[in-house]
Amino acid sequence: MPSDQWPPLSPMQTGLRGRCPRCGQGHLFDGFLKLRPKCEVCGLDYSFADPADGPAFFVMMFVCIPAVAFALWLEIAYQPPFWIHLVTTLPLVLLTCIPPLQPLKGWLVASQFFYKAEEGRLARPKEADKSA
Ligand SMILES: [Zn+2]
């Protein structure tokens, strides 16, 4: 099946579930955050995918900073013994930072495929003349 005959699938549908952004059936991950080389169902090559630090950035900005703010508030407001942080803050930080990484990475990879995002390239002078 040619690649232009696949129906467009929402990055939210496929990426958050860790599915192939083209067919929605194959798996995206080979492990927790490592991508497979290609889709086992439709054969889509995942080499285009490069979310870089995107998942970590979103987790840090929207989850880790509030969790650390909670830890600071707890310390300043109550000055609890250290073990209170071990049973409240540490699990909070781990549970809010690690689980969202895979769905966020899947969503970013699926969005790269859906919006055909890639590194910018300078057009050669001949190509620029044709488009003008
Ligand atoms: Zn696929």
Dist. CA 60 → ligand 1 center (Å): 30
pLDDT (0 to 100) of residue 116: 86
Per-residue pLDDT of the chain (132 residues; tens, 9 = 90+): 555 678 889 999 899 999 999 999 999 999 999 999 999 999 999 998 888 888 888 888 888 888 889 999 999 999 999 999 999 999 999 998 899 999 999 999 999 999 888 777 787 666 555 554
Which residue intervals of 2-115 are DSSP H helices? 11-15, 54-59, 65-78, 82-87, 89-97, 101-114
pLDDT of residue 1: 52
- The packing angle between helices 89-97 and 65-78, to 10°, is 170
pLDDT at 120: 78
Write down the pLDDT at residue 117.
81
- How close is the Cα of 92 to the center of ligand 1, in Å? 35
How close is the Cα of 115 to the center of ligand 1, in Å? 16
CA of 53 to the centre of ligand 1 (A): 24
Are 113 and 48 within 8 A, CB to CB?
Answer: yes
Side chain identity at residue 25, one-letter code = Q
pLDDT in the model for residue 128: 55
For residue 130, the model assigns a pLDDT of 57
Centre of ligand 1 to C-alpha 40, Å, is 7
